Structure 1
Amino acid sequence: MGAWAASRAVLAAPEPVRTESKVMHRVSIALAAPHSLQHLPLTLADRLGYFGQSGVAVEWLPHESGAKALANALQGQAHVVAGAFEHLFGLHQKGLSYQAFVQMGRTPQLSLGVATRLDVRSVMALKGARVGVSSLQSSTHFMACHWLMQNGLLPEDVVFVEVGSSAGAVDALRAGAIDALCNPDPIMYGLEQRNEIRIIGEARTLVASRKLMGGPVPGASLWARSDFLQKQPELTQALSDAVVHALKWLQTAGLTDILKTVPPSHWEGDRAIYLGAFEKLRESYGLDGLFASDAVANAWQAYKRLPNRSGGNRPVLASTYTNSFAAKSKTRF
């Protein structure tokens, strides 16, 4: 069964499990780069017990790229995806009704760097280079294309190499298998601090992201099939509550709080690098889980500029997200 055909398969509805204190809803979430700072709100919601408090038992389905996490959902193996918002445009163009229901990031939280062994100082000098991305059709691939096109190159002017979003990406750079890399933090920040890459494109901060994308855009989000949201409103609300609670906690958390909460396995072997990467991204996290219509419109305009993205059905942008769940969560925390 092909990936798009498999999207029609229906994953069995999550069965609630009653504990002594409350009914726990089981849900599977597919996500890329689970240790990346893009998913820090999920890590916090898990470690601080907010999912459990909201009545949710989460099964995590980790992948090396957003495209593979999406494929996992389309094959009926995951109820929810934690990933880049722009995937929703491609789904709607193909007539697949998915909706984002809580926003975790307000920028792509990605950067593009070139190996310092090369005398390359700008994106324009990447012509003919091997550029590592988590996978084709992932947010790292999309963002690398944006940087190339903004600097007068086309995606076909480089060779994209799929390297994942964990240790394999670092190994590929160090082995000389790639010349440049687009990935999330803390991987990119760590390579930069060790003087192994030179950052030539950055979409971590609000200012840098808006300059590249032409305005504000939504970042990492939780999204699922529209019919899932309709049939499982209590479960969806519980997920939204846990994430928004974590976002609120994050607004006043100090670095010591982060270290106490995030497990060492997420630090990439260096807690100072992890905290430095977090500090660069702190402003980019969502405040209340809500989506802004102008940010979604800007994201669509940017997505349309990518090669071969303007065909198919034009998405009804208001149908790509819902604020009904996050709005309720906002009143609770």
Structure 2
Amino acid sequence: MRNSVKIPALAVAGVLALSSLTACANDASTTSSAGQPAGKVKGESVKIMVGGLDKVIYMPAMLTQQLGFFKEEGINVELLTEPAGVQAETALVSGQVQGAVGFYDHTLDLQTKGKAVTSVVQFSHAPGEVEIVSNKAKDITSPKDFKGKHVGITGIGSSTDFLSQYLGVKNGVKSSDFTRVAVGAGPTFIAALQKGSIQAGMTTDPTVAQVLDKKLGHILVDMRTPAGSQEAFGGPYPSSSLYMQSSWVDGHKETVQKMVNAFVKTLKWMSTHSPEEIAAKMPADYAAGNQKLYTEAIKSTLPMFTTDGVMPANGPETVERVLKAFNPNIKNAKIDLAKTYTTEFAKNAG
């Protein structure tokens, strides 16, 4: 398998661009859910690392804070952000945070590495991801054309990495036949597409909406809806979730229940409010100066979310089948799916 290509120029650009795009997200890393400096709020405190606070697929994290539901439950949640879900995973297993908002598939991958991690509330039943193709890459009409190409992902070992490999394998292209390039999301993804460093790539809204608006690329595979997930994977693909180390969950059930209560309130709220109303509740910086485009991004992604936080039936099995198609560690491992998630807290949420 080829190694991912590093792009120094993009790395520099990414630091500058992301600092402005996620300014409000970074503020969250030093502000509690009650709007006071972390560590000075009465009640239980929990740190959550999000694999990109400004990504629409992870919107329930910041929206729950904005709606005041953490505070209603009597917990002080500090939201931190990293550009990719795999970095959120690393922060969790290293003990820097108590929870991670990222893709459920990391729980299976971690189990093969001897790490017991449990998804406690499931935000979605579809990936919310989109495979974008540069308008300059006229020869890419299907994932079967990935061979010999540079395909963008958020990071090596990320869920976009997993799904990109699966799309290739499903269409007869081995993982070693194309180069996966870690380009992050937002400005760094867009810059890679513009410069031709990647010919295609997997990303989420609002990046998708920005690429289409700039007419830099077009959609090859849309996985933002249950129907899109069914077509791409043959079933529901639970993605965005809150997962935590299993031992921490077992030792802090009351706190976990309060967190899940807050998230389920948000999911229900989202299901009864318009994209415009949701966008209005999010930090102004997330719209990057274009509220209409941001609202459209939310509208396109809303179908991926659950309304109750419960793991969709057959979802874990779909994820396992997808990962086994290309990941040798998981293909040859016996996964105990029952230990990768729980519906206990979501079903008990009011």
Secondary structure at the aligned position of 1:30 is classed as strand
Distance 1:226 1:184 in 2: 28
2:163 pairs, out of 143, 146, 150, with 143
Deviations 1:16-74 (A, max 9, x none): 9796xxx5211111111210011111121110100111112122221111111111112
Amino acid at match of 1:229: V
Secondary structure at the aligned position of 1:118 is classed as coil
Contact in 2 for aligned 1:114/1:198 (Cα 8 Å):
yes
Residue 66 (structure 2) aligns with: 47
2:134 pairs, out of 93, 115, 128, with 115
Residue 180 (structure 2) aligns with: 160
> Structure 2 matches for 1:151-300, cutoff 5 A?
151-300=171-320
Deviations 1:196-247 (A, max 9, x none): 1121122111111112112112121001111101111121111101100000
Amino acid at match of 1:71: T
Query: How far apart are residue 193 of structure 1 and its match?
Result: 2.9
Amino acid at match of 2:103: A
Contact in 2 for aligned 1:214/1:302 (Cα 8 Å):
no
Structure 2 CA distance for partners of 1:268 and 1:151, relative to 1, 3 Å: farther
- TM superposition score normalised by structure 1: 0.89
Secondary structure at the aligned position of 1:209 is classed as helix
Secondary structure at the aligned position of 1:102 is classed as strand
Contact in 2 for aligned 1:94/1:313 (Cα 8 Å):
no
> Structure 2 matches for 1:93-108, cutoff 5 A?
93-108=112-127
Q: Which moved more, 1:268-277 or 1:135-144?
A: 268-277
Distance 1:255 1:147 in 2: 30
Secondary structure at the aligned position of 1:28 is classed as strand
Distance 1:300 1:126 in 2: 23
Amino acid at match of 1:252: T
Query: How far apart are residue 138 of structure 1 and its match?
Result: 0.3
Structure 2 CA distance for partners of 1:18 and 1:117, relative to 1, 3 Å: closer
Contact in 2 for aligned 1:93/1:312 (Cα 8 Å):
no
Secondary structure at the aligned position of 2:197 is classed as coil
Structure 2 CA distance for partners of 1:17 and 1:267, relative to 1, 3 Å: closer
Query: How far apart are residue 161 of structure 1 and its match?
Result: 0.9
> Structure 2 matches for 1:117-136, cutoff 5 A?
117-119=136-138, 120-136=140-156
Contact in 2 for aligned 1:95/1:313 (Cα 8 Å):
no
Distance 2:230 2:43 in 1: 40
Distance 1:165 1:256 in 2: 23
Distance 1:125 1:17 in 2: 51
- How many equivalent pairs are there? 312
What's the % identity of the aligned pairs? 26
Distance 1:233 1:17 in 2: 21
Distance 1:67 1:91 in 2: 11
Contact in 1 for aligned 2:133/2:219 (Cα 8 Å):
yes
Q: Which moved more, 1:173-182 or 1:232-241?
A: 173-182
Structure 2 CA distance for partners of 1:257 and 1:223, relative to 1, 3 Å: same
Asked if 1:303 corresponds to 2:323, the answer is yes
Residue 86 (structure 1) aligns with: 105
Secondary structure at the aligned position of 1:309 is classed as helix
Distance 2:109 2:245 in 1: 14
Residue 65 (structure 1) aligns with: 84
Amino acid at match of 1:309: N
Secondary structure at the aligned position of 2:338 is classed as helix
Amino acid at match of 1:107: A
Structure 2 CA distance for partners of 1:134 and 1:258, relative to 1, 3 Å: same
Amino acid at match of 2:54: H
Query: Structure 2 unaligned runs (5+)?
Result: 1-37
Residue 31 (structure 1) aligns with: 50
Contact in 1 for aligned 2:160/2:203 (Cα 8 Å):
yes
Distance 1:98 1:312 in 2: 20
Query: How far apart are residue 312 of structure 1 and its match?
Result: 5.7
Pairwise CA RMSD: 1.8
Q: Which moved more, 1:53-62 or 1:135-144?
A: 53-62
Amino acid at match of 2:241: S
